[in-house]
Structure 1
């Protein structure tokens, strides 16, 4: 089993940034601080060996029902 603490931290930071952007707008200093924290957490998770597909699996093709 892999250590997912870096992924969990990056995801939490991204959610905080998204909530701040919704509440305050993207130009607000609080939002920018959360965005910087999210970027830092994502970079740390990537440096620790986690890849984007660990958090965001590729989409599955839609099945066509005729």
Structure 2
């Protein structure tokens, strides 16, 4: 479980880095018109990963009890 949580946290960090990179490209005017859609997709991925982390933590606590 801890390994899965760690992987999800790393996934969140990567998605956050992607968002920052896409925002920089947008500011430079290099990105295409689908930038906002990509950012939304990355944010959805972050939310899903955080939700999964919470589920895993609850399972871990439930197993410890």
TM-score by length of 2: 0.52
RMSD of Structure 2 on Structure 1 (CA): 2.5
CA distance in 2, matches of 1:33, 1:5: 25
1:47 maps onto 2:47 in alignment? no
| Structure 1 residues without counterparts, runs of 5 or longer | 51-66
Tell me which of 5, 8, 24 is aligned to 1:6. 8
The total of aligned residue pairs comes to 49
Moved over 6 A (4+): none
Label 1:13 to 1:29 Cα distance change in 2 as closer, same or farther (>3 A): farther
Do the aligned residues in 1 keep the contact of 2:8 with 2:49 (CA within 8 Å)?
yes
The structure that is helix-richer by fraction is: 2
| Structure 2 residues without counterparts, runs of 5 or longer | 55-65
TM-score by length of 1: 0.51
Structure with higher RCO (Cα < 8 A, 6+ apart): 2
